[in-house]
Amino acid sequence: MNLKTVFDVMAYAQANGFTPTATRGILTHANARLLKPYTIFSGNVTAAAIEAARTMRGEYVGHTLIVEHPEKMQRGLTDWVRDNVLNDYDAFEREVRRLSTVNIATRLENAALSQKDATYESLGITLVAWADIPADVQRLLYIHCIGKRCGNHADFTPGRQHEPAEGGQAVSRGQAA
């Protein structure tokens, strides 16, 4: 199955009375694995996630660190489905790409950010660029958060220098955005 096929199933569901939440769930829950190539790590990690990684001393503990969608993927896609008739795959794919950028945060920060109108700024959450994170912490973040989940994981080999690109994506220095 691919994203176009899931889009067609979602369009059928929408046309046959599924709620926007249920329609969105066809992608984000039933077919979430299809989102990996669209999930783009921004190159930003919260200061609290870096500190949590440092205290783990190289050992990952549970789900302390997670990828977090600053554009609120599930809420955003549900709203988009509510506001659009699903008949334009290209527009749908653009929206999935826009909503799929991720940062690394702690589970507690993600919970706080999921609240209505919560922002990094309103919660006092500081983002740190990948290039400013020590290589040992980069390794832990890469292994447990980026490599398994992000389509651009190869751009974040631990120890390489990266700069944010347009649209929040980060690329290695010297690479084209």
Query: Residue 153: which domain range?
Result: 38-71+85-172
Within a domain: 129: yes
Within a domain: 118: yes
Mean pLDDT of 116-128: 95
Within a domain: 135: yes
- The Cα–Cα gap between 28 and 106 comes to 21
pLDDT of 5 above 70: yes
SS3 173: coil
Q: Is the pTM of this model over 0.85?
A: no
Confidence of residue 160 (pLDDT cuts 50, 70, 90): low
Within a domain: 106: yes
Nearest CA to 124 among 133, 136, 112?
112
pLDDT cut 90: percent of the chain above it: 72
pLDDT of 166 above 80: no
Provide the terminal-to-terminal Cα distance of the chain, rounded to the nearest Å.
29
Within a domain: 177: no
Residue 111: predicted pLDDT: 94
- The Cα–Cα gap between 6 and 33 comes to 12
Within a domain: 136: yes
Residue 172: predicted pLDDT: 34
- The Cα–Cα gap between 35 and 39 comes to 6
Mean pLDDT of 14-39: 95
CA 7 remoteness from chain centre: 20
Residue 59: predicted pLDDT: 60
Q: Three-state secondary structure along 105-149? A: EEHHHHHHHCCCCCCHHHHCCCEEEHHHCCHHHHHHHHHHHHCCC
What's the structural domain count of the chain? Answer: 1
Residue 55: predicted pLDDT: 83
Nearest CA to 76 among 123, 104, 113?
113
Other C-beta atoms within 10 Å of 58: how many? Answer: 11
- The Cα–Cα gap between 160 and 125 comes to 25
Within a domain: 142: yes
Nearest CA to 3 among 32, 46, 45?
32
H or E element, residue 103: strand 101-106
Mean pLDDT of 13-30: 96
59-96 pLDDT, tens digit per residue, is: 655 568 999 999 999 999 999 999 999 999 999 999 99
Within a domain: 61: yes
Mean pLDDT of 10-21: 97
